[in-house]
Amino acid sequence: MSEVETLKLLAIKALKFQQYILRRAWGLYYAVWSLSFVLWLILPYSVSIFYPKTGFYAYLFAYSLPALVGMAVTNWIFRRARRTIELRRLTFGRSKKSAASTNLIPWLIFFAIILSAFIFPNVTFYYVYSGFLVILDYFIYKTLRYSFERIPVEGYIAIATFTLSVAITAIALTFTKSYFIFILGWTPSIAGWLFSSIYSLYHAPESMVE
């Protein structure tokens, strides 16, 4: 057996193991973001109730802390996923065509948001905010697709609940401006991502034998 064939076989074995590692890492990712969603909703509200006279920086801290924690985990998992994608491409010789379309679609969404913000200038901020959530939703879906050959069931649950939350947020911010509906909108994501986390961590070893 040649050196290339041996390395290919080893790469295939490593990729199989990587399915297990990535599924476990995604489990942690869902858990951290689920907690971040809760903190996002609770922290600023708690600041406003318990420390009503605190200034801008307390709110800034309350809003940015969950995001920073979530982003750190996102960075950690996506770097692993990127290296896995590269090895998969080298091993199976898949083309880069799909990666190009991945980059194009978020930009199309981004420009659609900017354009609609000009058409409806009175709701600009809410459009942009909701629009970025849509891009994030799409980004999560794409990364899931690249991480796994077949997206596991908990991935679909996470995407579906997040999409629902984004839709409710967009409606709440654009039409009702109700904080209650906004909070209500994020409960499917909190529950869905927590469930996905437990399911993913529990079923990760199955990826080794599939």
Partner 1 sequence: MSEKEVELRLLGERVNEPALKSSVRILILISLALNKHLSFADLLELTGLGKGSLSNHLDKLEASGLIKSKILRTFGGYMLCRITSQHLILAAVRHVLS
Q: Residue 88 Cβ, how far from partner 1 at the closest point, in Å?
A: 10
CB 210 within 8 A of CB 19: yes
Q: Give yes or no for residue 202 binding partner 1 (CB under 8 A).
A: no
| Residues 15-54 as x/- pattern, contact with partner 1 by CB under 8 A | --xx-xx---------------------------------
* Residue from 14, 60, 72, 104 in contact with partner 1 (CB under 8 A): 14
SS3 120: coil
Buried b (16+ CB within 10 A) or exposed e, 162-190: bbbbbebbbbbbeeeeeeeebbebbbbbb
90 vs 153, beta carbon nearer partner 1: 90
10 vs 153, beta carbon nearer partner 1: 10
Q: How far is residue 162's CA from residue 100's CA, in Å, rounded to a whole number?
A: 25
Q: Give yes or no for residue 78 binding partner 1 (CB under 8 A).
A: no
Q: For the packed helices 3-50 and 56-92, what is the interaxial angle rounded to 10 degrees?
A: 170
**Residue type at 163 in one-letter notation:** T
Contacts with partner 1 by CB under 8 A lie at: 3-4, 6-8, 10-11, 13-14, 17-18, 20-21, 80, 83-84, 86-87, 90-91, 208
